[in-house]
Amino acid sequence: MKAIQIDKNLRFIASDFLDGEKTSQVAETIKEHWNSDFQSDDILKKANQRLIVRVAHKETTIIFKLFPLKKITSKLRHRKYARQEFLNYLKVHQLQVSSPECYGFVEQRSAGLVCCSGVIMSDLSDATDALKLSQSTPYEIAAEKCIPALSALYNKGVNHIDAREENILLSGENWTLIDWQYANFVKPRSEWLLEHLAAYFIHKAPRTARSSLQEQWLTGLHRDAKHPQSDESFKKRVARLLSKHQGKRARLHLRPC
């Protein structure tokens, strides 16, 4: 990783795969836009502690995923935000799981504490997330297009934590997974990982679609992932998970159902 001091309080840590010219271009873009008043057209998502914006970069655009850290507890635990997501992107890149190209991350300090951090990555404006796709096509069809992404996570031993339709981008037959902040990696792969991924996906689906997903969709996922259990056993284990509350802590530390 290559560190560039953009100004006194702002530092950019670039991915190793970036060449010198690209690193300089991204650093210039960060310097130009870091303190911008972003227009509504530039903002892709805004939450209490997260801001995702699209900014101009030469002839193309790039994405800033920013974490404004307001609470002192967040500032003291700053490594769990952009830095952790950046490191997860590097692992995902090594595993060849389709994800945005991550150029690096930035940290801004004030009074010695990190007050804002961010991940800098490629723009995927030609793709549509599966949730938006489901607004113009039956939900089951959009969910079926997500099966290869969930199968890849299972077979690579990647527990994404938030692998729902909103975080699976689709472009034709291609898929890309975003939002890797909380991901963890399982070696060797846990056989029960797939049922957790499936149960969480169904849990986040609209109530009207959940019953149908538990039948044909689960069969398709089971077949595509080449899961060793029988289809019937796999579905029963997913059903048991769906009957329980699965908070973030439980999804971070997977157990057989």
Task: State the CATH number of the domain containing residue 96.
Answer: 3.30.200.20
Three-class SS state of 26:
helix
The pLDDT of residue 94 is: 93
The pLDDT of residue 230 is: 96
Domain stops at, among 91, 122, 153: 122
The pLDDT of residue 244 is: 85
pLDDT tens-digit map of 120-149: 999 998 899 999 999 999 999 999 999 999
Chunked into runs of 10 residues, the chain (257 residues) has average pLDDT values of 92 92 93 88 88 88 95 95 96 95 96 96 92 94 97 96 96 94 86 93 95 96 96 95 83 76
The pLDDT of residue 257 is: 66
The pLDDT of residue 81 is: 95
Task: Name the residue range of residue 194's domain.
Answer: 128-252
The pLDDT of residue 57 is: 82
The pLDDT of residue 108 is: 97
The reply to whether 153 and 225 lie within a common domain is: yes
Is 257 a member of any domain? Answer: no
Q: CA-CA distances (angstroms) from residue 94 to 17, 106, 121, 138, 181? A: 11, 21, 16, 34, 16
The reply to whether 39 and 118 lie within a common domain is: yes
Domain stops at, among 96, 122, 148: 122
The reply to whether 242 and 143 lie within a common domain is: yes
Domains in the chain: how many in total? 2
The pLDDT of residue 253 is: 79
Is 57 a member of any domain? Answer: yes
The reply to whether 98 and 192 lie within a common domain is: no
The reply to whether 215 and 198 lie within a common domain is: yes
Is 198 a member of any domain? Answer: yes
Per the structure block, which two tokens stand in for 75? 């500032």
92: nearest Cα among 197, 166, 183, 194? 183
